[in-house]
Amino acid sequence: MQTVDFEGKRQSVMTNDIFANPEDSFIALNQNGEWLAVSFEDGSLWLYSLLGEENIELFDNTSNFTHFEGGFSGNYFAFSGTNQEESVFAVIDMLELAQTGGFESEYPFSVKADESGIYVQTENLLVKIDPVTGEQIPLVTTAEKINSFAFCDKNAVIASNSGISFFDEQAELMTVIKQADKKELLKMTQDIAVVASLDETDIKVYSLQNHEENTIFYYDADYEHDEARINNTGETAMLFSYSGFRIYDKNGNILADKTIENANEVYDQQYRKNTEECYLEVIYNDGQIRYYSAVDGSLLDERKGEAVNSTMYEEFFTDNWRIESPLHGTPTAYDKKTDKLVKYLEKDDYLTYVTQVNDYVVTEYITADGRRYGLLLDEEGETVAYLPQLCDIVGEQFIFDYHKGELRKTRIYHIKELVELAQQQLNKEGE
């Protein structure tokens, strides 16, 4: 047992902490028990050596800081100090006893640190800090202020005025749970998140459902691509962009890795499927067309046609519709028999594919910032479902690519099936 003498200094203590604790008293011990960080009510912040070395005063009683946050991560101590006018953040190398980085702002910094890393939040941004280089790795960016956050090695959870949001390791939003009341207390470990509020006695526990059984292809998540498509046998997947393509088998093995020649002159690409083979069609501005095998990436054929029409007008056909898609204008669906207007499609995004799936029609789009999605339409043209990151359709199976190293599948569920699934879940929760 060891006693640390604060020499008369006191931590900040509220007169009445029954309603809420602002947590202005900061204390943290590093992993091997060598250093103790403590804040005091006079605005000072100290590092106490538990091995008999000289103590370090990071801020004295003239700092005017009223709130401190932080902790130890390996050999580094990260912290923030905040008052009504400003907030500062800094990282200290505890081996060299020197500051490695820091910054300041008029907005408060919230800091958490443990063996997984150093995390800093301000306003609507949450980042992970490299203690050596100072590099900021984005974890979460929201449209509104983050009230509180928690993290683990792979995922993060944040609370804002609109609810609880969960993010994956690529900083992609996984799901949002709307909350009418404010949530301030968040904890997360592996695939479990705990959420609570100062105004409630209930604690909610959320478990991440991964559904790995829906994964049908694996690939290198760092490989940049615009589209992903599966061949007609379901044995290979092609990931491609104007600069090149890769072909993977289901286990993530690379079967082909090709660079497309004269990529700056590519006008369009289309992944074609038929009963005999699948291939990537690359069309150049001068009319040159190259066809690449979707099985091994080999060049199947090369032809010279007329220079392309820059208007990019296209027509798509379904069982009952003819869809006109001009480059500058709103795609429009007409009845094939009567030529009467059925529906104006999405006007702000570019229509890429139209597919008949039983009695439904799937229209696929790409936004100005490169995001892909699909809409499931019924026979009257009404939207039944929004399909984010839809990349392919195989029979009745929808294939999704979230650019995380996996292609996943699902299918159309009818209302009766959904009701049965919901009943099964309720029965399971009642057991």
Neighbouring C-alpha atoms within 13 Å toward the C-beta of 256: 20
Per mean pLDDT, which of 135-139, 143-147, 306-310, 361-365 is the most reliable?
A: 361-365
* DSSP 8-state secondary structure symbol assigned to residue 97: T
Q: Using the predicted structure, report yes or no on whether residue 300 has a pLDDT greater than 90.
A: yes
- Looking at the DSSP assignment, which residues form a beta bridge with residue 101? 91
Q: What pLDDT is recorded for position 334? A: 96
Q: Find tokens 């946050």 and name the residue.
A: 69
For 270-293, how does the pLDDT look when each residue is reduced to its tens digit (9 = 90+)?
A: 999 988 899 999 999 999 999 999
Segment 342-357 shows an average pLDDT of 92
| 140 and 234 co-located in one domain | no
| 173 and 36 co-located in one domain | yes
Q: Using the predicted structure, report yes or no on whether residue 64 has a pLDDT greater than 70.
A: yes
Q: Which of 207, 240, 266 is the last residue of a domain?
A: 207
Mean pLDDT of the chain: 89
Segment 311-322 shows an average pLDDT of 88
In-domain check, residue 138: yes
Q: How far is CA 104 from CA 107, 145, 279, in A?
A: 8, 18, 54
In-domain check, residue 431: no
In-domain check, residue 282: yes
The rounded percent of the chain whose pLDDT value lies above 90 is 60
In-domain check, residue 269: yes
Buried b / exposed e along 204-213 (16+ C-beta atoms within 10 A): eebebeeeee
Least confident range of 1-5, 138-142, 208-212, 365-369: 208-212
| Residue 216 domain boundaries | 212-309+398-406
Segment 143-149 shows an average pLDDT of 89
| 87 and 228 co-located in one domain | no
Q: Which of 153, 188, 207 is the last residue of a domain?
A: 207
- The DSSP-derived string for 357-405 is ETTEEEEEEE-TTS-EEEEEE-TTS-EEEEEETEEEEETTEEEEE-SSS
| 43 and 192 co-located in one domain | yes
End-to-end CA distance of the chain: 48
The rounded percent of the chain whose pLDDT value lies above 70 is 94
- Looking at the DSSP assignment, which residues form a beta bridge with residue 363? 354, 375
| 94 and 155 co-located in one domain | yes
- Of the pLDDT bands very low, low, confident and very high (cuts 50, 70, 90), residue 429 is low
Q: What pLDDT is recorded for position 171? A: 76
Least confident range of 38-52, 383-397, 407-421: 407-421
- Of the pLDDT bands very low, low, confident and very high (cuts 50, 70, 90), residue 174 is confident
Q: What pLDDT is recorded for position 402? A: 87
Question: Looking at per-residue confidence, does 183 or 411 come out higher?
Answer: 411
Q: What pLDDT is recorded for position 182? A: 67
Q: What pLDDT is recorded for position 10? A: 87
CA dist., res. 87 & res. 379, Å (int): 57
In-domain check, residue 96: yes
In-domain check, residue 371: no
Q: What pLDDT is recorded for position 372? A: 92
Q: What pLDDT is recorded for position 200? A: 78
CA dist., res. 316 & res. 416, Å (int): 32
Write out the two tokens for 245: 């393509």
- Rama region for 84: left / alpha / beta (φ>0; ψ in -120 to 50; rest): alpha
| 305 and 176 co-located in one domain | no
**Residue 73: which CATH number?**
2.130.10.10
| 57 and 169 co-located in one domain | yes
For 176-207, how does the pLDDT look when each residue is reduced to its tens digit (9 = 90+)?
A: 887 766 666 788 887 888 888 877 788 888 88
Using an 8 Å Cβ cutoff, are 82 and 37 in contact? no
For residue 92, give the nearest of 116, 122, 113, 63 by alpha carbon.
Answer: 113
Per mean pLDDT, which of 64-78, 137-151, 402-416 is the most reliable?
A: 64-78
Question: Looking at per-residue confidence, does 289 or 155 come out higher?
Answer: 289
In-domain check, residue 12: no
- The DSSP-derived string for 225-236 is -SEEEE-TTSS-
| 224 and 174 co-located in one domain | no
Q: Using the predicted structure, report yes or no on whether residue 21 has a pLDDT greater than 60.
A: no
Neighbouring C-alpha atoms within 13 Å toward the C-beta of 84: 0
- Of the pLDDT bands very low, low, confident and very high (cuts 50, 70, 90), residue 42 is very high
Using an 8 Å Cβ cutoff, are 160 and 146 in contact? yes
Number of independent structural domains in the chain: 2
In-domain check, residue 49: yes
| Residues 343/347/349/350 CA torsion (nearest 10 deg) | 70
- Of the pLDDT bands very low, low, confident and very high (cuts 50, 70, 90), residue 381 is very high
CA dist., res. 418 & res. 431, Å (int): 20
Q: Where are the beta strands (DSSP E) in 152-214?
A: 156-160, 163-167, 173-178, 185-189, 192-196, 203-207
The values of phi and psi at residue 212, to 5°, are -65, -20
Segment 45-49 shows an average pLDDT of 96
For 77-134, how does the pLDDT look when each residue is reduced to its tens digit (9 = 90+)?
A: 999 999 999 999 999 999 999 999 999 999 999 999 998 899 999 999 999 999 999 9
- Of the pLDDT bands very low, low, confident and very high (cuts 50, 70, 90), residue 370 is confident
| 79 and 133 co-located in one domain | yes
Q: What pLDDT is recorded for position 109? A: 96
Displacement of CA 124 from its chain's centroid (Å)? 15
| 148 and 83 co-located in one domain | yes
**Residue 274: which CATH number?**
2.40.10.480
| 217 and 300 co-located in one domain | yes
| 197 and 240 co-located in one domain | no
